[in-house]
A and B are shown apart, each in its own frame.
Chain A
């Protein structure tokens, strides 16, 4: 069963704009992670946020976590064409033991 669900499924923006993707999950977690997948490639880890953290930054990435709403958001600022990829959230559920991945948001950044 799917633990994390990303929203929207697809997002198209212009270069320079910000992109926001959301992830909702169902059960208590130890941490939540975001991954990027370029077409035809494996997933690449972007950022991990623990359940006791509310916000984390890494370069142009900003991740927030709201455990009361069981949701997270990934913000990419000043997007570039190279940010075009699918983005997945993955949750480390306390009850389950392994990472569970959502179905992803497909981001297209037009030059």
Chain B
């Protein structure tokens, strides 16, 4: 988990409230990702970023938005949280992207979000 932090680590919120999760890296990696992990589904990509202000959707992007105003920070926002968004959220970073030579991803410790 070195070089990647997520905040908060745990959050309980009510349905309909906005929630923002933060990912911070000190590695200066170009790519950043948000995943959610649910039993029976494994890890699914929500959104990713390939540079400052450059973001794109992943497999399960509905209900989520992201922003990246600095290399080191990638924010995930749930505009109006729903119970189906109860999950563990992981941020990941990588130096390069798909098809490039080195494409290992490094993961943060995760944020456990409960929507009641």
Contact = CB atoms under 8 A, between A and B. Distances in A.
Interface string B86-116: 0000101000011100111111111000000
Contacts of A30: 98-99, 103
Contacts of B33: 98
Nearest to B41: A103
Interface residues of A, number: 24
A94 B42 CA distance: 21
A33 B90 CA distance: 18
Contacts of A48: 102-104
- Of B4, B58, B104, the most chain A CB neighbours within 10 A belong to B104
A81 B94 CA distance: 30
Nearest to B103: A92
Contacts of B44: 101
- Of B4, B105, B110, the most chain A CB neighbours within 10 A belong to B105
B108 A42 contact: yes
A31 B109 contact: no
A88 interface: yes
Contacts, number: 62
B interface residue count range (under 10 / 10 to 19 / 20 to 34 / 35 or more): 20 to 34
Nearest to B31: A98
B96 to A, nearest CB: 11
Interface in A26-45: 30-31, 33, 40-45
B43 interface: yes
Contact of A45 (B4, B98, B104): B104
B48 interface: yes
Given A92-B98, A97-B98, A43 B43 contact: yes
Given A96-B98, A99-B45, 4 more contacts: A40-B110, A41-B1, A42-B109, A45-B105
Contacts of B108: 42
B98 A42 contact: no
